[in-house]
Amino acid sequence: MTLRNVQTADPRILVEKPVPQDGRDRAGSNRDSRPARSVTVNLAESPLGWLHARGHLSDRQLDGGEKLRSDWDRANLEPSITMSWNLTPMSGGKRSASDHLNQTEARLAAKQRFDDAIFCLGKDLSDIAWRVICAGEGVPVAEKSLGWPARSGKIVLRIALDRLADHYRLPG
C-alpha cells in the first residue's frame, strides 16, 4: 500500500512552524518580536510523500521507496529504547504467505530483502536512499549531512528510486 492510497477522516497533522530569519527587519534594525513568517507543516507526511504530492516523483518511484520503507519497518531495524507492545497475535481473517512465518522468520526475511535492496543500490545511492526513505530526513538535510551541493540530492534520490523500482520488479 502506498501513501496516496491511504484515506482517513483527517490524514494530516498540521503544525504552524516559524521560518528562521536573520533577526533584522527591512530597515536593518534589530528586533526581538515573533517571526514575521510561518509555514504549515504536515507532520504525518513522509519526505517521499511530500515529493510525490508535488510532482517530483513518479508513482513507480514512490512505490519503490515505500517497498524499501516497508522492509525496513518489518525488519524492525529502527532503533528503539523500549519494548514494542504493538505486536498482537492475529485473531482471524485472511492470512498471507508471510503470515505462515513466525515473528523471527518474518523479521529475518524482511532484513534480507532490505539488505538485498541496499546492496542493489550500491554505496553511492544507498546513503541518500536510507536517509530520506528510512530515517525520514528531508532532502536538504540529507544533502547537508552528506556534504553535497544544494539541489543535488533530489536528482540522486530519483536515480536511487528508479533502481529500487527495478530491483522490486515494479511495473513501469
Q: How buried is 160 (Cβ within 10 angstroms: 0-12 exposed, 13-18 middle, 19+ buried)?
A: buried
Higher pLDDT, 170 or 10: 170
Predicted local confidence at residue 5, as pLDDT: 40
- Tens digit of each residue's pLDDT (9 = 90 or more) over 3-37: 344 344 455 566 666 666 555 444 555 555 555 66
Cα–Cα dist 4/163, whole Å: 21
Q: How buried is 146 (Cβ within 10 angstroms: 0-12 exposed, 13-18 middle, 19+ buried)?
A: middle
Cα–Cα dist 21/53, whole Å: 27
- Give the pTM: 0.67
- Tens digit of each residue's pLDDT (9 = 90 or more) over 90-145: 445 555 555 577 888 889 999 999 999 999 999 999 999 999 999 999 999 999 99
